[in-house]
Amino acid sequence: MPESAAAPLVDLAGVRLGLGAGAGRVEILRGIDLAVAAGESLGIVGPSGSGKSTLLMVIAGLERAEAGRVVVAGQDHAGLDEDGLARLRRDRIGIVFQSFHLIPTMTALENVAVPLELAGRADAFAEAAGWLDRVGLAARRDHYPSRLSGGEQQRVALARALVARPSLLLADEPTGNLDGAAGRAVADLLFGLNAELGTTLILVTHDPALAARCHRAVRVADGRLAAEPRP
Ligand SMILES: Nc1ncnc2c1ncn2[C@@H]1O[C@H](COP(=O)(O)OP(=O)(O)OP(=O)(O)O)[C@@H](O)[C@H]1O
Ligand SMILES: [Mg+2]
């Protein structure tokens, strides 16, 4: 199906996924239906262990649904092999993982530059420096992740997710390690990109204030989604 203005950027129907084997198997996603329009911001809330991170991984194509349909930017994941999924991520999706996944042998600047270097961009380091500045870490450019606080690592991961200007940002607790002021600064950055560039945001969060700033929020409960009432 070609991408069109009317089609949602993210479209999930009847998505099911269990993880683990034998007696340890857990049915995590039990029929997820979710459509997110281009330019929308969506908060995902729900208790620990409910499947929020798993849902983001399915949207990113890092986990495959066992049943149902996952379409992102007009591309059905079922029709893509691992290389195709990797290309879709490279071209369209920025991901901030809950545990950051920074490369320990690279400085903050080198970590942020990775997506642009992979794309062969000559301006990779200049762009990366600009994004580190935007997340308030210009002074930490040459630090390795092990020399950064949890909140600083989180902001490096955010800069890396944004450096290639993705149309879709998937962020797992993007402010979870930040105090009030730093958390608000990151949220301002995200919602600013949403407003100015139309970056579609899908944010997993335990923070009701962050969820409330999204256009809408959904709650994961018993493997399904329910609309979260506005506070
Ligand atoms: N590889 C795996 N094998 C088996 N079970 C798994 C695996 N990965 C995750 N799970 C289980 O799936 C459930 C959902 O995990 P998930 O990480 O999606 O939760 P979450 O909503 O993101 O929680 P949190 O808010 O704590 O981050 C949990 O019960 C977890 O133990
Ligand atoms: Mg999680």
pLDDT band at 3 (very low <50, low <70, confident <90, very high): low
Q: In this model, does residue 131 exceed pLDDT 60?
A: yes
Cα angle at 152 between 147 and 154, to 5 degrees?
Answer: 120
Q: What percentage of the chain has pLDDT greater than the value 90?
A: 91
pLDDT in tens, 85-113: 999 999 999 999 999 999 999 999 999 99
**CB neighbourhood size of 13 (10 A):** 14
pLDDT at 171: 97
- Asked whether residue 61 carries a pLDDT value surpassing 70, the answer given is yes
- Round to the nearest angstrom and report the end-to-end CA distance of the chain: 37
Beta bridge partners of 115: none
Q: Is 139 in the pocket of ligand 1 (CB under 6 A)?
A: no
Q: Does residue 163 register a pLDDT over 70?
A: yes
pLDDT at 49: 94
Give tens-digit pLDDT for 149-159: 999 999 999 99
Mutate to test the pocket of ligand 1, among 17, 32, 50 (most ligand atoms within 8 A of CB): 50
User: Can you tell me the mean pLDDT for 75-82?
Assistant: 98
44 near 170, Cβ under 8 Å?
no
Please compute the mean of the pLDDT values over residues 190-216 and round it to a whole number.
Answer: 95
Ligand 2 centroid from CA 146, angstroms? 22
Residue 180 · residue 172 · CB < 8 Å: no
pLDDT at 37 over 90: yes
Residue 2 has pLDDT above 70, yes or no: no
Residues 60, 44 contacting (CB under 8 angstroms) = no
The ligand 1 atom at the shortest distance from the C-alpha of residue 46 is: 21
- Dmax over CA atoms of the chain, in Å, equals 51
Residue 69 makes CB contacts below 8 A (sequence gap 6+) with 11, 12, 13, 14, 15, 76, 78
* CA 76 to mean position of chain CA atoms: 18
CATH of domain 10-227: 3.40.50.300
- 1 pLDDT more than 60: no
Give percent above pLDDT 70 in the chain.
97
Taking only the tens place, the pLDDT of each residue in 168-198 is: 999 999 999 999 899 999 999 999 999 999 9
* Ligand 1 centroid from CA 26, angstroms: 9
Residue nearest to atom 16 of ligand 1 (CA): 51
Helix ranges (DSSP H) in the chain? 52-60, 82-92, 108-118, 124-134, 150-162, 180-197, 208-213
How far, in Å, are 65, 97, 169, 180 from residue 60 at the CA level? 11, 11, 10, 29
Cβ atoms 158, 115 nearer than 8 A: no
Give the pLDDT mean for 36-54: 97
